[in-house]
A and B are shown apart, each in its own frame.
Chain A
Amino acid sequence: MNETLIRLRLSFFLGLRSLRRGNIGSLVMTVVIIGMVFTNMIFLPSVITGAINLFVEQTIEYSSGNVLIEPKEDAEVIEDLEDLLARVNRVPGVLRAAPHNNIGGVMKFKGSRLAGSVIAIRPRDEVLVTGVSKMIREGQYLGEGDTGVIIIGNYVAGHKDKSEDLMPSLGGVRTGDSIDVEFTNGVTRTYRVKGIFETKSYMADQAVFITWDELESIKRQKVDQATEVLIKTVPGEDDEEVKLSLIGMGIQEKIKTWNDLLGKAFAQVVQSYGVINSISTIVSIVIAIVVIFIVIMIKTLNNRRQIGILKAIGIHRTTITFSYVFQVIILALMGIVFGLLILLAMDRYFTVYPIVFPDGDIRPAFTIADIVTNAVLLFIASAIAGFIPAWMIAREDILTAMRG
């Protein structure tokens, strides 16, 4: 056997017994602290991942669908809509396409004015593509062919007391109320509010919807144009593949998956969160290092005499140092396992009781990548924190150490 292996084997032999026959209280305390530190390291990124997941889900579900078609480079609208829809709906992997025609407008209600998106939809297609219809807070969703009615987002409806509003609002609109909308083409119409939806997505809840028939009545003509077309893909289908199929069909409009849309915004959000996360990780690591350093320092100081004896009878100082490193490694592993158990319990808990934020219920997402990265970090930090005090004491002069 080679010298290093012999030493490591003996280190392990010594370390294991020292842990087993050492102070149980300090062992449990160390494991619990490492476990808590590990939980703490994982928790923040998991909330961030949960928030990102929520944002992605909301974007797909209420704003963009899986794939979004936008007007060509220099165009304001998508032309020949019917032809496009027919083609898109035939592409394998496409569940349904829903056109949106966004005509801006100013809404008025009891002296409040609010400029925003007024989007014409085709309810029959829309319910297959977005989830807004499932998020009606009061009243009803638009029916195919409805005219004279409008449904509005929760933020648009707002509260009577505007100080309760997170966003500009019309100041407490209820179902059945009438609101006036002044369109950009100069037409003004009065609508009865048929329903109010609350998706909790900031973007979606600031919109209002009318039917395509209503739009055509405002414009006094058939509308074969859209400002965007949302596509829902068949569940399990790769959105990127569907996008390629659409391009392959010769569609000239801009085609973007949700990932393309979120790409830039995402990178920025992730970067900002990354900074917060790094700080939290560093603090956790420092706590772990300090605790382990102190535990091993105390242990080695108490064992000074024994370390002297071991050296006197010919045990190499590396063997002695690593006997402590092994103890720390075992403590760190136990701590990480303990931390994983806490995380498992938290995962169960948050599945049932998510954290409630104004923009949705965040369920912390514990990713394998976060767990592995932080476990490795904590592990390395622990090993170093254990190594240093052990190394210092093991270097001491034999007779000095033996005097204790």
Chain B
Amino acid sequence: MIRTTNLSKTYYLGVVEVPALRGVSFEIHRGDFLGLMGPSGSGKSTLLHLLGLLDFPTTGTIRINGMDVSEMDDDERTDYRLRKMGYIFQDYALVGELTVLENVMLTAMAQGKSENECRKASEEILSVVGLSERLKHLPKELSGGEQQRVAIARSMVNRPIILFADEPCANLDTTNSRAVLDQFHTINEELGQTIVMVSHEEWHKEYFHRIVYLKDGQIDRDEDRRSHSA
């Protein structure tokens, strides 16, 4: 579904070049629950940002369903992120001035659906993540685990073709982390949702179908776990 060829990204800090990614070629398949793992600074977030159309590669190409994303202009990228991609960040990234329900409705409304339609869809997805009782709360009134479940609901409400999660459990305790991972497992199993998740927690491995290990901006190992576990 997504194929990268020789992807590289170099940051420039004044005159200093920081090569964050160095020639990454791999493919994400529909229905994958893929873990991106590797030591801190190995380029996991950078890769996720490129895949999620949040940043531009220095060289190399990304094709989504055969289309070269470098051909999209800024508006098309924005629209693609809205309609086809979901994002979950380490610090939840909710809009503080909006309630739980409004945070989720936001992306649905941006697609031009009627307010009622958006409300219905949002309430439905929020009940799936177990937050039906919290619709009118503001993010700051929720625990970290609850906030991350709002973020999951928000990322899912537009039925994206792919979900990107950058260390979604980094700020959560084990119980809440499990809740989030279980949620991912469920939507991956039941809806066939493709998920790419960055993590550096060893115990998360048991959830992934496949793990791509990064090291110094290159793919170190690509491990398919279904063949082992199934």
Q: A residues bordering B, Cβ < 8 Å?
A: 1, 3, 6-7, 9-10, 13-14, 17-18, 21-22, 306, 309-317, 319, 398-399, 402
B170 CB within 8 Å of chain A? no
Compute how far the CA of A17 lies from the CA of B109 in the bound complex, rounded to whole angstroms: 15
Contact partner of B106 (CB less than 8 A), chosen from A1, A10, A311, A399, is: A10
Contact A311 B78 (CB under 8 A): yes
Identity of the chain B residue whose Cβ is nearest the Cβ of A20 in the assembled complex: B97
CB-CB contacts of B88-104 with A at 8 A, as 1s and 0s?
01000111111000100
Shortest C-beta distance, B147 to chain A (Å), equals: 13
Q: Which residues of A contact B109 (CB under 8 A)?
A: 6, 9-10, 13
B79 CB within 8 Å of chain A? yes
Identity of the chain A residue whose Cβ is nearest the Cβ of B75 in the assembled complex: A316
User: How many residues of chain B have a CB within 8 Å of chain A?
Assistant: 30
Contact B112 A313 (CB under 8 A): no
B212 CB within 8 Å of chain A? no
Shortest C-beta distance, A127 to chain B (Å), equals: 71
Shortest C-beta distance, B6 to chain A (Å), equals: 22
Compute how far the CA of A21 lies from the CA of B89 in the bound complex, rounded to whole angstroms: 24
Shortest C-beta distance, A212 to chain B (Å), equals: 82
Residue from B49, B52, B82, B97 with most neighbouring chain A CB atoms (10 Å): B97
Contact B107 A313 (CB under 8 A): yes
Known contacts being A313-B82, A314-B79, is A22 close to B49, with CB within 8 Å?
A: no
Residue from B93, B94, B110, B112 with most neighbouring chain A CB atoms (10 Å): B110
Q: List 14 A-B contacts (CB under 8 A).
A: A3-B112, A6-B112, A10-B110, A14-B97, A309-B94, A312-B52, A313-B107, A314-B81, A314-B83, A314-B85, A315-B82, A316-B75, A316-B79, A402-B93
Contact A315 B110 (CB under 8 A): yes
Identity of the chain B residue whose Cβ is nearest the Cβ of A5 in the assembled complex: B112
Shortest C-beta distance, A339 to chain B (Å), equals: 27
Identity of the chain B residue whose Cβ is nearest the Cβ of A311 in the assembled complex: B78
B208 CB within 8 Å of chain A? no
Contact B97 A399 (CB under 8 A): no
Contact B106 A315 (CB under 8 A): yes
Compute how far the CA of A311 lies from the CA of B78 in the bound complex, rounded to whole angstroms: 7
CB-CB contacts of B105-144 with A at 8 A, as 1s and 0s?
0110111100000000000000000000000001000000
Contact B81 A313 (CB under 8 A): yes
Known contacts being A10-B110, A314-B85, is A306 close to B78, with CB within 8 Å?
A: no
Contact A1 B112 (CB under 8 A): yes
Q: Which residues of B contact A314 (CB under 8 A)?
A: 78-83, 85, 107, 110
Contact A309 B78 (CB under 8 A): no
B87 CB within 8 Å of chain A? yes
Q: Which residues of B contact A14 (CB under 8 A)?
A: 95, 97-98, 106
Contact partner of B87 (CB less than 8 A), chosen from A3, A313, A317, is: A313
Q: A6-B109, A314-B82, A398-B55 are in contact. List 8 more A-B contacts (CB 8 A).
A: A10-B106, A22-B97, A306-B97, A309-B89, A312-B87, A313-B93, A316-B78, A316-B79
Contact A312 B93 (CB under 8 A): yes
Q: Which residues of B contact A319 (CB under 8 A)?
A: 110
Contact partner of A17 (CB less than 8 A), chosen from B49, B85, B89, B97, is: B97
Q: Which residues of A contact B97 (CB under 8 A)?
A: 14, 17-18, 21-22, 306
Contact B96 A306 (CB under 8 A): yes
Shortest C-beta distance, B109 to chain A (Å), equals: 5
Compute how far the CA of A1 lies from the CA of B112 in the bound complex, rounded to whole angstroms: 7
Compute how far the CA of A10 lies from the CA of B118 in the bound complex, rounded to whole angstroms: 12
Contact A309 B82 (CB under 8 A): no
Shortest C-beta distance, A349 to chain B (Å), equals: 40
Known contacts being A10-B110, A13-B109, is A312 close to B54, with CB within 8 Å?
A: yes
Compute how far the CA of A317 lies from the CA of B79 in the bound complex, rounded to whole angstroms: 11
B154 CB within 8 Å of chain A? yes
Contact B98 A6 (CB under 8 A): no
Q: Which residues of A contact B83 (CB under 8 A)?
A: 314
Compute how far the CA of A315 lies from the CA of B109 in the bound complex, rounded to whole angstroms: 10
Q: Which residues of A contact B94 (CB under 8 A)?
A: 309
Contact B78 A399 (CB under 8 A): no
